[in-house]
Amino acid sequence: MAASSEELVFAPLGGVGEIGMNLSLYGLGRENARKWIAVDLGVAFAGDDLPGIDLIMPDIGFLLEERHNLHGLVLTHAHEDHFGAVLDLWPRLRVPIYATPFTAALFEAKRLSEPGAPDIPFKVIPLGARFALGGFDIELVSMSHSIPESNGLIIRTPLGTVLHTGDWKLDPTPVIGPATDEAKLRALGQEGCLALVGDSTNAVRDGRSPSETDVAKSLAELIREAPGRVAVTTFASNVARIRAVADAARACEREVVVVGRAMDRVVQVARETGYLDGVQEFRGTDTYGYLPPDKVVALCTGSQGEPRAALARIAKGEHPDVTLARGDRVIFSSRTIPGNEKAVGAVVNGLVTQGIELITDRTHLVHGSGHPRRAEMEELFSWVRPRIAVPVHGEALHLAEHAALARKVGVPAVVTCRNGDLVRLAPGTPDVIDEVPEGRLYKDGRLLVEADSRTVADRRRLGFVGVAAVALALDGRGTLVADPEVELIGIPEADADGETFDEIVRDAVLDTVENLPKARRRDPDEVAESVRRAVRGAIAQRWGKKPICVVQVILV
């Protein structure tokens, strides 16, 4: 029966069961003949468990298979977890890509900063735009968030209307940009909404996220009463916060110096797109040293402790232009993202050791999340009154709390799904009906590698045990014609009795070759494998750990 009827389906390929690398698909049509739209194409940031990997992105194999049925990609906003994979993955996908002006401009600035990046043509659409992609009638709805131009999508189809919230909160007094469009959302409720596919990030938190305007007031106070220099660090893309700091600085006659390339880029784009209209010009870092301490505010990248970002370099005294001293004040206008605690701790401790005063959101209202807490989520449900709730954008706990809240406020059906689930929204009872291929890609240097390739597993092992490399030269009769070459990397110098591992390895090599029967000695593969096992065993016996062992045999 399913095969013969038209269906509206939802399939997340990233961002559900995790925070980051958002990629959602909506499909319309009969099974095997579905047409798709994709929403967002983001990255996640790799932790210490993936040595040498910076970024994680969704595997788009399924989208590539369905490329001829894919009408386009719509980006909700310019956060990396929503658009960070476009630069790497769009060249494979090559479908029309839609975004509002700030998102498109920030993307372009990012693209131009990467040498050799391909040209990616955006279709730039205005805020509130309504446009058709095949059978999908899409209307943007402005949402407050922590970056300009976060858009929810109202997706109308012959089988019902979906509200894809994107990232949002209900700040009625954002410092910049339109507030969440309550009128449009209430009208959607009147018109009838089939499903709300929504942000779960803060579903565990009661109450409401603070307004940007209140955060701005508190920042202004803290900057005004600071005796010496002030450095404020925040997420580079938080233009409202940049504006709040600029206004606070002007009110007490301090100059603003922007420190950090990512923030420079955002400031430039925000000026081009009008989000910093009326804000004074900022000064270059080269002027910082000439300004009296009570006449400057440094606006810095590095709120997550990133070692190469401005604040970490300042904290270590390694920044060429910008320094801080005892009595200066650093404000973390940010939240530490789980996983970054150690890196932030290192920066914080570096600053405290130098006698610098630290202010964080533990004690002061210096940050507000960009995501809705429970009271805001309840309010949105009351406006839109969807028949189905589908929690996304969160880890398992966030999704479960969002689901429980939806049930509590009386949403008739709640569907919990994970990346790779295919959810039928209509017709009939909504449910997970199938799976689509999903996975992860790792950005490894300039390359994209499959998450299940051996690269990272090998590298993780290398971090624990080191490498023993041996090269042997044999003549045609299987006799060693020179001493073996031995190179040990990441292996201790000597064993507990003081014998060097270099000696231990050489002895193992010579013993093994001498004791091999003549016939087997003429086979280089055989020799290599025997030596490899012997070397590994000899090291393991003295060290208690098995290294990675590489043996090359050259016939001369």
Q: Which is nearer to Zn ion, 167 or 328 (CB)?
A: 167
* Nearest to 542, CA basis, from 489, 503, 486: 503
203 or 348, CB closer to Zn ion? 203
208: number of Cβ within 10 Å: 19
Closest separation in Å from C-beta 393 to Zn ion: 6
Q: Which is nearer to Zn ion, 103 or 233 (CB)?
A: 103
Residue whose tokens read 């409720």: 189
Whichever of 148 and 478 has its CB closer to Zn ion, that residue is 148
Q: Measured from the CB of residue 78, what is the shortest distance to Zn ion in angstroms? A: 8
Least CB distance from residue 458 to Zn ion, whole Å?
A: 32
CB-CB contact of 298 with 329 (8 Å):
no
In the complex, which residues of this chain contact Zn ion (CB under 5 A)?
A: 79, 81, 167
Strands (E), 227-379: 230-233, 255-259, 296-300, 329-332, 357-359
Element (H, E) at 35: strand 35-39
Task: Give the residue with the Cβ less far from Zn ion, 156 or 371.
Answer: 371
Rank residues 167 and 264 by Cβ distance to Zn ion and give the closer one.
167
> Which residue, 351 or 392, is less far from Zn ion as judged by CB?
392
CB of residue 80 to Zn ion, shortest distance in Å: 9
We find the least distance from the C-beta atom of residue 281 to Zn ion, in angstroms, to be: 28
User: In terms of CB distance, is 157 or 303 closer to Zn ion?
Assistant: 303
**CA angle centred on 309, ends 305 and 313, rounded to 5°:** 90
- Distance between CA atoms of 21 and 56, rounded to whole angstroms? 7
Separation in Å, CA 398 to CA 18, 306, 394, 435, 475: 9, 26, 5, 22, 66
- Minimum Å gap between C-beta 77 and Zn ion is 6
Residue 412: partners with Cβ closer than 8 Å, 6 or more residues away: 387, 388
Inter-residue contact 26 to 49 (CB < 8 Å): no
Q: What is the largest CA-CA distance in the chain?
A: 89
What size, in residues, is the chain? 556
What are the angstrom distances between the C-alpha of 465 and each of 85, 174, 187, 501, 536? Answer: 33, 52, 62, 14, 11
Range list of β-strands (E), 416-494: 421-426, 431-435, 440-444, 447-450, 467-474, 485-489
Strand partners, 403: none
- Measured from the CB atom, the residue of 79 and 402 that comes closer to Zn ion is 79
Q: How far is the CB of 327 from Zn ion (least distance, A)?
A: 36
CB of 432 to Zn ion, least distance (A): 23
CB of 544 to Zn ion, least distance (A): 45
Euclidean distance between CA atoms 213 and 241, whole angstroms:
9
Q: How far is the CB of 79 from Zn ion (least distance, A)?
A: 4
Nearer to Zn ion, 76 or 233 (CB): 76
Q: Are the beta carbons of 420 and 435 closer than 8 angstroms?
A: yes
Q: Between 255 and 376, whose beta carbon lies closer to Zn ion?
A: 376
Q: Tell me how far, at minimum, the Cβ of 194 lies from Zn ion, in Å.
A: 23
Minimum CB separation of residue 301 from Zn ion in Å reads: 17
Residue whose CB is less far from Zn ion, 360 or 369:
369
- The continuous run of DSSP H or E covering 57 comes out as strand 55-58
Question: Residue 455 corresponds to which tokens in the numbers above?
Answer: 């690269």
Is-contact 14 58, C-beta < 8 A?
yes
Prior bond of 492 cis (ω within 30°)? no
User: Using CA atoms, how far apart are residues 369 and 211, in angstroms rounded to an integer?
Assistant: 9
* Bridge partner list, 98: 74, 123
